[in-house]
Structures are given as C-alpha cells and as structure tokens.
A and B are shown apart, each in its own frame.
Chain A
C-alpha cells in the first residue's frame, strides 16, 4: 500500500473512556443472548418428556428370565430317589431358563399301606403342600406305561423309569422348554411366535344361515354356549377374561367356488371346497360379522350351515383328497378364530331337492360344541399336543383342563408377557432416542415406569417360585407397556419436527449470532493486548 498510509489515528480521550463500556456491552450481549436467550429458546421450544429409566430398561434383557420350579419325587426305595435326583440335577444344572429344585419324599408307613395309585397320590398331595406350578413324580410299580400324567400336578412312574425319560417329560410337557425358547429367542426365523395373550377377549359364536327361507335350522345357541363354552372358559380365565356372545347371521353369502363331486350317498353328490380358497372365504364373511362397541380383540367361532343346493359341503386339499375327519369339516385360523361347516342332515336336503316344503331340523349341539371346544383349546393354546412314547395322560373327565397343563400355560404366558413388555419398552426407548419430537407426557411416563417395575417384580416372583403373582404382574406390565407404546399423545408433535423449528428461527438466530460470535474475537484481541501491556 504505497499510496495510502492509513495509520491508526490516536483515539481521543473520550473514546478511551467509552471503551470500558463497549467491552461491558459486548460481554452483556454475549451473556444475554448466549447465556439466557438460547437456553430459554431451547427450553420453551423443546418437546416435553418425562424422565424415564432409559438405561435400566435397555439393560432389561441382560438379566435372563429364569423360573424356579419345585419337583418332588416319591420312590419306595430312598436310594433310587437319591440316584434319580442326582441324575436329574445334573441334567438341569446348565439350563438358562430353569432353576429346578428336586425334593425327595421318603416312604412312610401310611404311604406303604396305600392300595391304589389314586389313594397314594391323594395322601402325598395332602402331606406335601404344592404351590402353583410345582410337580410331583410318584412311583407305582404296577404301572403299564413308563409314565402316566394325572389331571393334577403329578405323574405316576414305573420302578424302571429312567431319569432320562423323566427329564424328557419335564422338558417336553411340564416345563415346555422348547416353546419357552421360541418365545425368548430374538431370532425372527424361529417363527411360530404367536401373540401375547390380551387381557380380555370377546368370544363370538356366529351361526351363518345364508338361506333362512329354505333352511329351517333351529338351534338354541344360547343354551349350547352356556353349557359348553362358558364353563370351560371360566376355568382358564386366569390370564385373560372372556366374554362369550352369540349371534345369528342371515343372508351372508360366502364367496368361494364349490365343485360338485359324485358319490354313493342318497343325494348322489356332495360339494368340494378347496383348501386354497379358505382364506378368501374368511375374508368374505369377516366383513359381515357385525361391528362391536368395545375395542377388545375378538375370537370368532363361525358355524356355517350350507343351504341344501350346496350341501353337503366338504373341504378338499390341493391333491383332491377329502379332508373330513370323523364327519367334521372345520378349520382354524389363529388368532382370527375357527370355522365349522354344519351340513344339514341328509333327509332335510332330500326333501329340499325334491321341492318339498322345507323340513325344520335341529342343529346338533354336542357335535358342533365339541369341535368348537377343541378349536378354542387350539386357539387359546392351552393344551399340549405333543405325543411321547411310553407316556400317557389320564383322560379329562370334567371341562376344566389338566392342572399341570393349565399351569404350564400360566407360566408360558407370564414369560411371554414379560418378554413382550420388555421388548416393547426397549423399542420405545430406542425410538425416543432416534426421533426427538416424540412427546412423553406424565401419563405415558407413569405407564412406562410402572411397566418397568412390574417387569422386575414379575421376574423376581418367577425366581421365587410364586407363579400366580408373577402371572398377575407380568400381565399388568404387558398392559401398561402396550398403553405406553400406543398412546396417541406420543404423536402430538408429529407434524412439527425439529427441522421446522430450526427453519423458522433461522432468520432470528443467523443475523444475531454472527455479530455476537464475532465479538468473541474482539474480546480475545483485547485480552491479548492487555496481556502484552502487562508483560511490557
């Protein structure tokens, strides 16, 4: 710069005095805008979130769900009992799911005198109080099978039954280890993962009569439901509550192709319903099954009475084989429900075919209700279908399910509820970390916290051998976690994401921040100047 020498002019005295104020003003601007303004803006525009035990929830899966079970073994020789217990203990020692506690029961004079297995069982059950979920093996030498499961929490075994067999039975039927593994596995490919049981269901029995003028079917469905289904459901309502309703539906046409097949019956033909068209059939009737006033999930049990011009109707598979078993044509589709084809009796259709007056008839209650109960068993997933060689179960005499079966169901649903609730909470926490504009209000926050503490309590109860408590708390945790996850208030800020917040306030912050930040630079140079002054 040769032409100009813009040498600094000496500041006047007044300027020097004002410098103090300038520095003060600069500092004041910085404090007000960066110290007060920005935090206040951040606080007032931030999304409301309650404090959650996030890290604790994320580490929920680190402690595995472990269940304690007590198994008592009664043998006539104490030495055999000891041997069995030692072998069984080693078999279950490395289990990640179970803490099985074996207990030996020694023969007493009373037990020696028992003449029937039932009397012995009764005696032993009286002497040794079992809590929910426990089990007992009783030796009875004159048994035909190796193992015989009773309807209570016990099984009879022969004197030569090996510990291997007992361990197998425990894993397969009593504890159902493979199913628990399915529930707990995080691997999607394991499949077969049914949904966790909801706290309440509507069981809706619908009778479809598409041609009421031609088919005069009569059925006191209310009575049938009251005698068969309600008492059974009352026995299994420990996990979920069931409300049974029934309805008749007329003029509901099902959309499927029926193929006529010749046969030897008096009608000379029957109709074939292809297995592949069953899903379409369900879709076509589901929309006609009437709305509901509650938001409870429904289990539909449909009895379809085919009109005579397409009766009798049977299900065929793709290879052209008839799938009727024991005169029953039915199928289930979990969790939607079951479907039964109730063909009218032959004489009714014979009359209809020969253009006579429609013959009124009664739909068989026992046949259809038995099928329906069986379908319910499968839909609710209570009974254990697994067959084992050398193991037999006593047939059920009353409506209630076998006690060990039901308790295995309780245990399974408790574990499933805990697993589902933990994974729901974990996904929610992960979502919250990723999407910053999800609102968590007090109510949802409370639901999440309660659910978390219930999960912990349920896990502890399982370990402490209190199955009933665990089941109750696991259910509560599950319900609370679902409520927290699906609450509509989570999405209150859905249409105002953070990007918009920044976009709107940029016209304010950009022009304000540039001079304020650049004044930092100035302060620095002043400080440097002062330091130099001191040094010199």
Chain B
C-alpha cells in the first residue's frame, strides 16, 4: 500500500574542515514561526546533529553528539528511535498539519535491526531503552513494558538505512504522562550549546509551559551504507513545537514579537552550529503581518502544487559584528485591524480525525473513530488502535460505516476492509492491537466502531488518583496525500527544515493522531481490603463465641431458697446481692469450686456439671444476672 523503501540520500558530502576541527559532525539550529488562524502562533525549533562516525568503534569518542546517544547505539541494536513528550492537543481543522506529529502524553517507538536478534531479546532491549530514556529525559517512560507495547505491522515505516534486513519495531504511548519543565531541562542538556546560547536560550520553561500546545521531540536514526556498518551516520533531531495563543497576552492588537513570545530576545547563535536560521511564513495567515526588522532573504517553496513563502533571517549574518546585543523580530498587524479577532476561515485540511467513546455505565462501551476526507478523490486510510488490556475489544463488532460529508447521520452503508490485522489482548500481558486499511471515497466520512467491555482491576493495579479514569492512547491515522496543501512535514530523506522546500513527491505520507480517551473503570474504595479483613474477622469472632459456648457449656438452673415476693424488695435485694457477690466473688468462687468438686466426688461423671454450675453462680461472670432472672421466672411460673 505504501512504498516500502525510501530513497535516502545517504552520504551527504561534508564540507571541508571547519574552524573547530569537527570535520565529520554538523549541528544546525532552525526556528520556524507560522502564524495560525484564530490568533495562534506556531513556533517550531529544530536542532539537528549529524555525525558521520564511520565505524562503531568511533562511538566511544563524542564531540557534538551527546554521549548517551553514542552509548545507546553501542548497547542496543536500535537503529531508529522516536520519543515525543507533549502537552495539549493539535487542532488539525484550524491549524493545519504540524511539522512533527505527536500525541499528548509520552509516545515512543523504535526500530531494532541486527543479526541474531530474537523477539525476546528485542523486548528486553526495548524495556531497557525505555528505562534509559526515562532517566535521560526525566519522564515516566520506565512504565513502558509488554503490557502497553505493540509491534506495528503496517503503519509505522522505517526511516533508517539499510532497512531491508531483519527488523523489529516496538511502539508504546503513555497518555497519562504530564510534560513539564523537568523534561525540558534535560532535553536542553542534550544540545551541544545547552541553553547557554543559540535558539535553545529562548526555551525558558516559564514561557514554554504557558502555551496552548507544546511538544518536545527526540529522534535518532542511523544511516549506514551497507550491512557491515562501517560507514554510518547518526542523526539526532531534537524538536520543540509550540503553539501560542495571542489572546492570552492581553494585547491591544495582534502584534507579537520573539521577545513577547519567549520573554527575551535572541542572544546570538550557538557557536557550534553550522547554520542558524529563522524561517517566518509570509503567506496565508502570515500575510497580515509586517516584519520588523525587514527580512533580507525570501524563499518560495512549491510543494505538491502548493506554494509557501518564507522570510529567512540568518543569525550568522545578523551577529557578524562583535558585541553583545539581543535580536528580536516583531510581527506588526495593520492598525485598522485593531483588537478584532482574526476570523479568517482557514482552509480545511484534506483529512481530519476525531475519536470518542459511546455507551454508558462502567461495563460496556464503544470506541468510535471518525475520519473525514474532504478531498475530492478517494484516499487510502490506515488506522492503528492500541487498546489496553483492561478493555476487551470484540473484533466481530468492528465496522466501518460511511456518509457523505454534508450529511449528518450515518446510514447503513458500509466500507469494505482492504487490510485487517488484529492481535487480541491478554489480561495483564498484552494490549489489543488493531490495524485496518480501507479506501475512503472523496467528500466522505467514515465511522469506525468497535465494542468494548471494561474489566475489573485488582486493587493494586489502580494508578494513583484512580478516580481520574484510565486512558486509552490515541489512534494513529495514516494516509497518502496526492497534494501538498497544509503539509509541512520533512521528507524522510531530509534532516533539516529547509529540505522540505520544493520537495515535490508523487505522494505525501501523512499521519495524524486522534484524541486520547479516558474510561472510568469501576473504582473500589481502597481502604476496603483492610475493612473487609477487620469486618470478616469480627463476624467470625461474633459467631464463634456463641457456638463455642453452646458446644462446651451447660446452663444449670440454681434455685433460690428464700426469695422475696414483694416487687420492690426483689429489686432491692437484687442490687444488694450483686454488690455483695462482686466483693466476695474471688474467694467464694475458689471455695465453691473446691467444695463442689468435693461434694460431687461421689456423683461420678456428674461432677463436671456441678462444678460448672457452682462456678457460674458464684463467679462474677456476666451470665449471673441472666441465670438469676431465669430462676425467678421459673419460680414465678411455679
């Protein structure tokens, strides 16, 4: 369905040795600013380190590439690694497609390739890899294991070289992960200049985490000439994709500037960077703004019949003269526009997706994924779902219904599958993994539904804050677009943003993430086990007491020789006797037992009974009043 192999421009000719003697290593920093509709601004940072390290032995000695990446390639058979840490949801309808895709929370996938790799070995390495990056990025990636990882069959394509050998892929998402400044700081430490200079100095946590959407990305891939792995390139791409909402700045107009967005101007470029450029989109939403200072360079990119104009600021030129200063770019909107909201309706991207949950109660539900094709022609669509093990999906209920885009209700019309791959989940071991492919006719929406049951968890399996609910990770929807409208992703063979300029191809692989879902599983009261133990123990103990008494004790009625007949006297007598009995009890009890035993001696087996009786009547036990009451009642009956 999709082209299997990418044409990779492998051995890019490297420039002759630069001033710092790093003749086989290149670092680039790029910043793309795109005004979006609805008073939003998208800023995209990309830091690319490319190291032509040749043989594997050279990985012991690193310069610009962080050491941890080199160690990663030595320790694991990993050839490609993607990690995304995202907060917020990308709105495809209004913002178009992002330059890099990400789902909210943490997402991670990796390709493994090597000789003598087995599935078990890959599972082990995958878990270790997640643990390593959990430490490197301070994220909870250590929760990645077999219970939430799948091996995608069709949807995730390799971007490493050579990819034609034996290869394995693992994919996992942690939608619950919250991305914050503790992830940004170690992420910045992986850059050669850190946050000391260059574009990374703009990424201050206070301003980054004020955004509507922010996504940190890390991508590592290895490009080797052949299977001998003697002539290899490792490419580390770090991306930060932010969407600012200008309305939050509370300005009188829609003007904004780098300083406004990031809290400070740019203090220069990273000395180790070969290029350091800012790209500002000038057409579409960018038309409204005037740039100060005026750009010196302009690039027009036509890709798939769609033109985009970028203004370019080269930091190496801006900071050619020595001296400390800050660089700032301001976007000024025409005065007439004023505070008015930008209501210009954006052009709808060709494919949009949504996902939601149907059903009520805590037992049954239905996961619904809706894909809309607003292009005039049919598009191939692929959907990958990962359903966690605590949700049972039923394959026989899977169906795709269709409707024309302008109609509200879905009819009975079904779409046939072109491809279906399903791995059923296993409780506490494997998630369900579903991949389906179909052709979606033009101007049509498809509704993919599958029925699910929710399972009861063991009480230790609930996460902290269990009433928050359990997440079902986002589905990935992939397609192939025949045109480049709204499409800004880098071509797979390129590694810089500028490589996407004029990169016209027969088709463009698009992949979108839907929303993540929250299901509320039945949540118990967590002090319950203790309560149950205590309660059960008490009930057993309560039952035990009488049973024990009945089985081992005998009630013997003692007769009272002279009982007062008068009611008042009776009560008086009772109080008086009780007090006396309490005082004399110990001695009397002892005496009574002995006496009774002696008296009972000739009676043989009955001795036990009599001694019991005397103890009961003489002792200070709680049974006494009851016995007396019985006596009296008997007497009265007599």
Contacts and interface: CB of A to CB of B under 8 A. Distances in A.
Interface string B596-614: 1111111111111111111
A6 B68 contact: no
Interface stretch (B2-10, B292-300, B545-553): B545-553
A292 B72 CA distance: 9
Nearest to A212: B271
Interface string A248-267: 10111100000000000000
B607 A529 contact: yes
Contact of A504 (B189, B533, B597, B618): B533
B560 to A, nearest CB: 5
Nearest to A244: B60
B577 A291 contact: no
Contacts of B561: 3-5
A269 interface: no
Contacts of B599: 8
A22 B551 contact: yes
B60 A4 contact: no
A42 interface: no
Contacts of B562: 3-4
A291 B61 contact: no
A25 interface: yes
10 contacts: A4-B560, A204-B67, A216-B19, A244-B60, A251-B192, A293-B75, A504-B533, A504-B534, A515-B545, A529-B607
A6 B558 contact: yes
B611 A3 contact: no
A26 B554 CA distance: 12
A508 B544 CA distance: 10
Interface residues of B, number: 79
A511 B544 contact: yes
Nearest to B533: A504
A34 to B, nearest CB: 13
A467 to B, nearest CB: 32
Given A244-B60, A253-B196, A294-B75, A22 B554 contact: yes
A6 B609 contact: no
Contacts of A245: 60-62, 67, 70-71
Contacts of B612: 522
B152 to A, nearest CB: 25
Interface in A213-266: 213, 216, 218, 221-222, 225, 243-248, 250-253
B71 A292 contact: yes
Contacts of A8: 556, 558, 596, 599-600, 610-611, 613-614, 617
Interface of A: 1, 3-11, 15-16, 18-20, 22-23, 25-26, 29, 204, 211-213, 216, 218, 221-222, 225, 243-248, 250-253, 288, 290-294, 360, 504-505, 507-508, 510-512, 515-516, 519, 522, 525-526, 528-530, 532-533, 536
Interface of B: 19-21, 58, 60-64, 66-68, 70-72, 75, 132, 135-136, 186, 189, 192-194, 196-197, 271-272, 530, 533-534, 537-538, 540-542, 544-545, 548-549, 551-554, 556-562, 573, 577, 580-581, 584, 588, 593, 596-614, 617-618
Contact of B554 (A18, A525, A530): A18
B545 A536 contact: no
B548 A29 contact: yes
Contacts of A212: 20, 271-272
B102 to A, nearest CB: 23
Given A16-B605, A221-B61, A290-B68, A11 B21 contact: no
Contacts of A4: 560-562, 577
A127 B181 CA distance: 71
